[in-house]
Amino acid sequence: MKRTKLLLAKQNTYADKDTFTLIEENIDNLKNGYIRVSVSLISIEPAMSGWIVNRTNYMPTLNIGDIMHAFAIGSVIESNHRNFKIGDRVTGNLGCQTLADINPEETELDKTIPLNISDELAVSACGLTGLTAYFGLQKIGNLKKSDTVVVSAAAGAVGSIAGQLAKIVGCHVIGIVGSQEKKDLIIDEFNYDNAVNYKAEDFKEQLNKATPNGIDVYFDNVGGPILNYCLARLNKQARIVLCGAISNYNSDKPMTGPSNYFNLVYQSASMQGFIVLDYKAEFNDARKIISSYIDQNKIIYRTEVFEGLTAIPDALQHMFEGKNKGKVLVKV
């Protein structure tokens, strides 16, 4: 039996074909204490650009020649570990490879995905993506029914779910996106009340018009100038959920802070970051809630699936160029 794996070849900020090398190897006998997982679907994350250059501290350091990290789902095909059996579905950092030999004592895996949740759902709306939207809003957003909520990257994986969750609470929800097509999509499909195009010359006027009473909660996926302008429109006691800063991920310059940050003081507002993995202990309950919303058609989720490990650089570029609507996945 052979295994194909994608190794890190270059630590560049903008992942392209030269960033990785694809190799094929014969597999050895499975070590004691290990399980062998057949990887089926990989979740493409903006954070992958940070893993390549070791910008994040919540993933193991990656050196040239290491298997590229990937949150993914797969099935156990061989087990030398007492807690895992053949057929178990597992999610976690399985790496960009067809077959993953994993020591569950070293790499944390989740094998509690309910049978009614498909692989695709388990790595999108009911996976880290949906959970990120859920916990960001629940733990930091602290939503109230009358709140005006603004979400950036609103047609993307996290943003599309965040907007719908805020609508379920009864908030007035505005999405920030990069095209007219995405404006239409988030209103027609993802139930947003209004949409603003940040690439339009009159972006600020559009946002002012869409938020005449200011902003109570800003769910920030992008950082940069959009975060800065939202800071200027905060209401008293507003909350900013710092989820991500994709506008900075492909830059080799150090990140700079927003000049409007002092409005947090004037408005007694707060701005808090989080990593979804902080809330692991609550994943199961949250997953049940999100999947019941999906069953009731209160949440619509979209996926775009690329084929094969060789498609990973293209899938990353597709997302960073804003071509995706919903969650980008790679079928292994």
Measured from the CB atom, the residue of 92 and 178 that comes closer to ligand NAP is 178
Instruction: Name which of 77 and 300 has its Cβ closer to ligand NAP.
Output: 300
CB of 182 to ligand NAP, least distance (A): 5
Residue 9 or 242: the one with the smaller Cβ distance to ligand NAP is 242
Give CA 210 to chain center in angstroms. 26
Q: Least distance (Å) from ligand NAP to the CB of residue 57? A: 13
Query: Is the Cβ–Cβ distance between 155 and 233 less than 8 Å?
Result: no
- Of 98 and 124, the one with the shorter C-beta distance to ligand NAP is 124
Query: Nearer Cβ to ligand NAP, position 33 or 322?
Result: 322
Output the smallest distance, CB 101 to ligand NAP, in A.
Answer: 26
Q: Are 228 and 259 in contact (CB under 8 A)?
A: yes
Nearest approach, Cβ of residue 152 and ligand NAP (Å): 6
Rounded CA-CA distance 27/4 in Å is 10
What residue ranges bind ligand NAP (CB under 6 A)? 45-47, 128-129, 132, 153, 155-159, 177-179, 182, 221-222, 243-247, 274-276, 319-320, 322, 324
Cβ(320)–Cβ(76) below 8 Å: no
Structure tokens at 215: 């902003």
In the complex, least distance from residue 247 CB atom to ligand NAP, rounded to whole angstroms: 3
Contact 8, 20 (CB under 8 A): yes
Smallest gap from Cβ 196 to ligand NAP, in A, equals 10
- The backbone region for 11, taken as left when phi is positive above 0, alpha when psi lies in -120 to 50, beta otherwise, is beta
Residue 144 is which amino acid?
A: K
Element (H, E) at 162: helix 157-169
What is the distance between the terminal CA atoms of the chain, rounded to a whole angstrom?
Answer: 16
Q: How far apart are CA 294 and CA 298, in angstroms?
A: 6
Q: Which two tokens stand for residue 275?
A: 């990593």
| Least gap, CB of 141 to ligand NAP (angstroms) | 13
74 or 159: CB nearest ligand NAP = 159
For residue 279, the tally of other CB atoms under 10 A from its CB is 18
| Token pair listed for 279 | 């809330």
Closer residue to ligand NAP in complex, CB, 81/182: 182
